[in-house]
Amino acid sequence: MSRSKAALVGIGELKPTRRTEGESTLGMLARCSALAIADAGLDKDAIDGLLVGPQVGETPQHVPATVSEYLGLAPTMSNLVDLGGASGPGMIWRAAAAIGAGMCETVLCVLGNHRNPEAPRSPNRNPIREFDVPFGASGANVSYALLMQAHMAAYGSRAEDFALVASRARANAQHNPDAIFYGQPASVEDVLASPMIASPLHLFEIVMPVAGAEAVIVTAAKVARERGQKAVHLLGAGEKITHRAVSQAPSLTSGPLKPAMARAFAQSGTAARQMSLLSLYDCYTIMVAATIEDAGLAPPGGFGGFVREQDFGPDGRYPLNTHGGQLGFGQPDLAGGMTHVVEAVRQLRGTAEGRQIRDPKLALVTGNGATMSEAVALVLGADE
């Protein structure tokens, strides 16, 4: 059909039952997904998009990542659709929109839930509960410390270089009166002297949780032009999920941001070294180090030399997190990732008072979820 936006090519369905003794939601989603993939005549690796509902009892958050991990998928687009009884149909048009946007080619849309009469007897098949938590890898601090240890072991990277990332963030926060650490710079020595939280991570290398909120309005470029609005344009985007539990990570020194950024650069016809601003997710110093390397700004294990050569300030060659980043500005829960988008918009509009970079053209924005598990990269461009 000439008007077709997307084709529905496979279906799966489990027989309804009043009770599902010993079943898990993840297991049911897996069986149903396998039926749909087989019906479509596809190999599992052909699935590069995932839409799932919110009712997955084994996990309260990171639902797409948990389902992807359990099914053995590595999608370049994923999302949670929470529309009650409209969730199923809502998934279909979202899948078509994602395909049309070039984010993926084949999307698995799956919903389901167990109905166990006695919840404690329901198995929890979430790998993080089976393979991480029982061995002490509970919480983000321990998991990111593991990544930092792995980087040091693989490349001989220095604690001073990681600390310099945090020090640079604090320095940029001094140009932003709204930052939680405004008026509180920190030298490398200060960072290394801060309490050890999870070796080798020091307190100042970890985000400060704060209250806050961020919002962005997106409209069609044509509409922005008609309204005469000062716009910032989305030129490229990339997304990738590789795992949820750190025990299931394919690598401890490189993450899904590498392919996500590569896709964003390819869509926009740009490269990392062309960016006017690097607005990089920085929940921990190791996250910045890995992103610098995965972007190709430094070779694997070489972030330290890059950090020492740059000051990351608004007047530098590579301004990085000019608002202070989450390490300097603070992390307002899930809105922490949006702070990087908001700062990029300010800079590309030329309205970052007190910290404006010169002649901004392009910005790289990254987002990271779980333990270097869920990744999104955007290339944004200024109005011309």
List the chain pLDDT tens, one digit each, 384 residues: 457 778 788 999 888 787 887 788 889 899 999 999 999 999 999 999 999 988 776 777 889 999 999 999 999 999 999 887 788 888 989 999 999 999 999 999 998 888 776 655 556 677 777 788 887 777 899 999 999 999 999 999 999 999 999 999 999 999 999 999 999 999 999 999 999 999 999 999 999 999 999 988 888 888 888 888 889 999 999 999 999 889 999 999 999 999 999 999 999 999 999 999 999 999 999 999 999 999 999 999 999 999 999 999 999 999 999 999 999 999 999 889 999 999 999 999 999 999 999 999 999 999 999 899 999 999 999 998
CA distances from 109 to 3, 40, 167, 244 (A): 22, 13, 44, 19
Domains of the chain: 25-125 (3.40.47.10), 140-382 (3.40.47.10)
- Which is nearest to 378 in space by CA: 101, 173, 49? 101
Q: 């053209």: which residue's tokens?
A: 361
Q: Indicate yes or no: pTM above 0.75.
A: yes
Cα–Cα distance measured from residue 361 to residue 347, given in angstroms and rounded to the nearest whole number: 9
d(CA 288, CA 330): 15
Give the three-class secondary structure for 55: coil
CA dist 81 and 88 (Å) reads 8
Does residue 280 contact residue 291 with C-beta atoms inside 8 Å? yes
